[in-house]
Amino acid sequence: MSDLISLVSIFVLGVIGWITYKVYIWPIYITPLRKIPGPPSESLFYGNYKTFMNEEVNEPQLELMKKYGNIVKYYEIFNQPALIITDTTMVQDITLSNTYDYVKPIVDSVAFIGRGLPLSEGEDHKKQRKMMNPAFTYRNIKNMVPTFTRVASILISLIENKMDLGESNIILAPYISKTTLDIIGLVGFNYEFNSLTSPNELADAYTILVTPTNLGFIISKLSNYFPFIRSIPIEINRKFNNACAVVNRESEELIKRKLKEAETGELKGSDLLSVLININKTLPIEEKLTDNELKNQIMTFLVAGHETTSSATSWALYLLAKHPHVQDLLREELVKAFPDKSTFNPTFDEINTLEFLNGVVKETLRLHSPVTAIRRINIKDKTFGNYLIPKNTSIIISTTGLHKSPEIWGPTVNDFDPKRWMDPTLTKNISNISFLPFNAGARGCIGNKLSLAEFKVILSILIRNFVFQLAEGFHVKTRTFTSSKPDSEIEFIISRVES
């Protein structure tokens, strides 16, 4: 009996010693990352996440960069050291020079996204990217623009109906989100969400999965270490798991239907998924995507093409309402291009020739990029300057830090100034490693042209039809860690633009 007690005691002491080493001794005293400046850990359990989620800190990434420089060490869950960077040498290595030396961290969103293009790695990613490129040609995207306009026109009618009922103060974000969801459903896989006009089970499930909360973020991070956490029967897990089940069921039914149409030669749609399936039919067996890989692209289109455009449009309206003179200049350009708002139906080329609109869009993406951080883990040891970055280090490229760096953008870095994009003396210094709303290189967003065209059409039709103002004294916080969404609902005072 005493031998058993001794063995148990040794085991317990060993476990305690191992945990102490992993969460305290190694992160503080041994890791090569200890030489990199950064804030001290606040907790052996949650590291520095309390600072990142502190509602009193407006943009925690920026605050760390200002204090510690462009390579900052911080601590994640279980006190594991990680990096936040805006160092352009490292950014270039990660995004352009050695892309596949850096992998995406395992996240529980794979439960509903699957290993589609965003979460695939190495040769698998190369295969999917090569196969999907033809679906995002100029020809295909320009044919989607009428769909953007048609759905956006439903949004215009909805706003006008509210105004006819005496409403002038309207919270627009939920309606813009439904607009972009309806659009990506149609152009992505010819699915009628109709969420602007009616409830939809798949739309509701998807909203649950992509709407971030601080608790959801913590559970997601913990589930990377302890997958069983998602099985604990609490309300947030029940909602997550039920939503995953709905998404998987609907995606499987949709892909089965389209594959059956492809077998009989009846798949004639121009939506992205139909184009992919028809391309897939022509490929040699070693290059084909499996049925499951094709199914995963459904959620890829949704996640990449919905919330990012929705968030960017909400921020653009906020910035234009805050700067009415800029809003007036944009409207002048739109009125000149489209004198009759009742026949607003731009082509892809027309919407992309509007210089000031392009400046407004880019400046919005600079100040409020939908992707505030690009997360990677290096699979090889790396050396940058005097710093050794051991393999398996969690690295965050701070898009926010790059986009708001005075070294890159000058003394007016915090100003909303669309005209900066029309000044060659300023734009000549901007590269694809200093402006990263869609990432860059082999892992850059494959649908960036689609997203930009959609953003421009929705914003244009809104500004052409309405004047947007903010309630006096209204100010919105900028959250840049778990989400780029506004921290509070933006209520606009809306009035009509006369024809």
Known binding residues for heme are 445
Tokens for 72, please give them: 């900052």
Task: Please state, in angstroms and rounded to a whole number, the distance separating the CA atoms of residues 283 and 297.
Answer: 17
What whole-number distance in Å separates Cα of residue 270 and Cα of residue 188? 9
What single-letter DSSP state applies at residue 133?
A: G
Cα distances from 189 to residues 146, 193, 220, 274, in angstroms, run: 16, 11, 28, 7
* 466: helix, strand or coil: strand
Long-range contact list for 279-285, CB < 8 A, 24+ apart?
Answer: 279/131, 279/134, 279/135, 280/131, 283/131
* Residue 387: its H or E element: strand 387-389
Enter the DSSP assignment of 39: P
Please report, in range form, the residues annotated as the binding site: 445
Contact 119, 113 (CB under 8 A): yes
The Cα–Cα gap between 394 and 104 comes to 9
What totals of helices (H) and strands (E) does the chain contain, helices first? 22, 10
Tell me which residue of 4, 136, 33, 52 sits closest to 395, measured CA to CA. Answer: 33
Distance set, CA 19 to CA 14, 24, 46, 218 (Å): 9, 8, 15, 20
